[in-house]
Amino acid sequence: MSRKRIIAGNWKMNKTPSEAKALCETLIPLVGNDDVEVVFCVPAIDIVPVVEAVKGTNIGVGAENLYIEDSGAYTGEISADMILDAGAKYVIIGHSERREYFKEDDEFLNKKVKKAIEKGLVPILCCGESLEQREKGVTIDWIRLQIKSDLDGVSAADAKKVVIAYEPIWAIGTGKTATSDQAEEVCAAIRACLAEIYDQETADAIRIQYGGSMNASNAAELLSKPNIDGGLIGGASLKADFGQIVNA
Ligand code: 13P
């Protein structure tokens, strides 16, 4: 089963539109690799300039969030149609920062996943445990619960379009990466869970990324694991290191 690797940057709340254009100019020459799907997930206001800047390259663009309705009185939100019309094709859903700071729960995230799929956006669905959960030994149970709830009612055909990002919360922005064995254990458990919900063929088709302090020095080791098909990169996606991760 060959799954195309997907390396995505999550810029989070960094880069103004003009800084975004400059960063694209820095990164474009570093990330040319046809064997890898390269994605820049950027703040909503940066989507248009980034789409423009990466035109003609191998880079896809994604949003960091979307709302579950198509249009209407939802001040401050952006819809799937807006994201698509701006030229982006991916959307991050359920990042732990949104779960924590914006109180997004699995029921709501499930609606976001369905909306993204309905509209033709590729959801990058995040899951991950806290340090407390890891220490209590409930990591796998927790991740299984997240995956099952977030994909509730999603068909096997649609699930194949989803990218799952395993991001242990304790490894995000902390410089403390999961070991490749820890990351592989959870990514394998996610695939087993997908095989249970759907079937092995579907589980084998779904790409699973690791995220959490991934950088130029640990990427190759993490990406050498059989169930890790890519990375979702925060801090290191804002600098030249991102190119090294793409080519790791
Ligand atoms: P860092 O790579 O900065 O740890 O962030 C990971 C992340 O949250 C990507 O979504």
How is residue 157 written in tokens? 């055909």
> Which residue's alpha carbon is nearest to atom 5 within ligand 1?
234
Whole-number Å distance, alpha carbon 81 to ligand 1 midpoint, is 26
Residue 110: give the domain boundaries.
5-246
Which residues are CB-contacts of 165 (< 8 A; sequence separation ≥ 6)? Answer: 8, 92, 124, 125, 126, 127, 208, 209, 210, 211, 232
Neighbours of 67 (CB within 10 A): 18
How high is the mean pLDDT in each 10-residue block of the chain (248 residues)?
93 98 98 96 98 97 98 98 98 98 98 98 98 97 98 98 98 92 98 98 98 96 98 97 96
Give 178 Cα–ligand 1 centroid separation in angstroms: 12
Token pair, residue 85, equals 């019309």
Residues in contact with ligand 1 (CB, 6 Å cut-off)? 10, 95, 167, 172-173, 211-214, 232-236
Domain total for the chain? 1
CATH number, position 75: 3.20.20.70
pLDDT of residue 1: 59
pLDDT per residue as tens digits for the range 76-126: 999 999 999 999 999 999 999 999 999 999 999 999 999 999 999 999 999
Tell me how far the alpha carbon of residue 71 lies from the centroid of ligand 1, in angstroms: 30
Predicted local confidence at residue 176, as pLDDT = 87
Instruction: Please report the pLDDT score of residue 162 as a whole number.
Output: 98
| Identity of the amino acid at 10 | N
pLDDT at 72: 98
Q: How many CB atoms lie within 10 A of CB 76?
A: 6
The answer to pTM > 0.95 is yes
